[in-house]
Amino acid sequence: MSQNSIVTKKTSIFSSIGRLKETKVLTFCGMMGALAIVLGYVATIKFGPYIRIGFSGLPNQVVDYLFGPWIGAIFGGTMDIVKWFLSGDGDFFPGFTLTAMLGAVIYGLFLYKQPLQVWRVIAAQVTVKIVCNLVLNTLWLNILYGQAIAAILPGRIISNAVMLPVDSIIMLIMLTVVKTSIKPYFDNEN
């Protein structure tokens, strides 16, 4: 990768934050936020207090793919706080908000303005599952509830390993549909 293409990519990633002033981008993010809330209620399965499998993160991934890591981070952090307020479930902990924002940055770096390829989707999923789900969220659970990491980590590893292929396939199919049906509407950045 040449120096010019690296500078262009960095400029593109950081300049995407300016798209927040576009009405269509804000409206679409609002619709994705509403969808994330609904999916959080109807498409989440809890296995005890520390393992949760759900699909409310799918709208976040669409936002990360379409608008990049920084809009994705703002969206992810905002949605984490909004979903916590609406659920009234558990204690609020800013570490989980930070993790939601970091996950958006990771997805955005792998997918924003990149060709949609299987290896990119899998690499993004693996990175998020290891860094955000297994390391950070396990640490936050330890800090928040005092649970021994050794006690909760095995179940979290199993659930993330089982969900890796499922999440990767769902994400690839979903983003392929988004690429052909929704992305062209947002490609003209005016």
What percent of the chain has a predicted confidence (pLDDT) above 70?
85
| Residue 57 near residue 101, CB atoms below 8 Å | no
Higher pLDDT, 153 or 15: 153
Residues 107-132: pLDDT tens digits?
Answer: 999 999 999 999 999 999 999 999 99
Average pLDDT of the chain to the nearest whole number: 87
- pTM (2 decimals)? 0.86
CA pair distance 123, 54, nearest whole angstrom: 20
Rounded-to-integer distance, Cα 64 and Cα 70, Å: 8
pLDDT given for residue 43 in this prediction: 67
Domains identified in the chain and CATH numbers? 3-187 (1.10.1760.20)
Q: How confident is the model at residue 72 (pLDDT cuts 50, 70, 90)?
A: very high
Q: Is 89 helix (H, G, I), strand (E, B) or coil?
A: coil
